[in-house]
Each structure stands twice: as C-alpha cells, then as structure tokens.
Amino acid sequence: MPVVNLQVIAGLSVDQKRTLVAEITQTLCRVTGAKPERTHILIHEVADEDWGLEGRLVLDRRAASAPKT
C-alpha cells in the first residue's frame, strides 16, 4: 500500500488538489505497479509563515516581491 505525503504551501484550490491526487496516483501506479485502490495521497498544507526558503519565510519573500501600490 503506497502512501505519498505531499507538503505544499497553503492556497491550492480543490481542483488543483484533485489533479495532483489523480496524476500522482497514475504515475505511482504506472511506475511501481501499485493498484490505484490501494494508493493513498495525503496533502499537508503549511501556512506561508511556517515555511522557510533560502533563509527567509515564504510570507516575507512574497511581501518583498509584491507590486508596490
């Protein structure tokens, strides 16, 4: 029983999650021979203030790159 844990920054739509689950399942089954009905995909959404990249919070990176009004 394959289990995939996927961590993403919060904000994906339900349609995007559906697509991810379908495509990850399809690829995993094709590559490993696993059965779709036994394949589990868990999506863990992480807030942008709880995710760091290149020494900075994603929250701060987004704020710095936002267009100035």
Identify the pLDDT of residue 67.
87
Average pLDDT over residues 12-35: 97
Domains located in the chain, CATH noted: 3-65 (3.30.429.10)
Is residue 36 part of the annotated active site? The answer reads no
Catalytic residue among 2, 8, 24, 34: 2
What tokens were used for 61? 């990176």
Q: How far apart are CA 38 and CA 20, in angstroms?
A: 17
Confidence of residue 30 (pLDDT cuts 50, 70, 90): very high
Structure confidence at residue 68 (pLDDT): 80
Q: What is the pLDDT of residues 34-69, one digit of tens each?
A: 999 999 999 999 999 999 999 999 999 999 998 887
Look at residue 33 in the predicted model and tell me its pLDDT.
95
Bridge partner residues of 8 (DSSP):
45
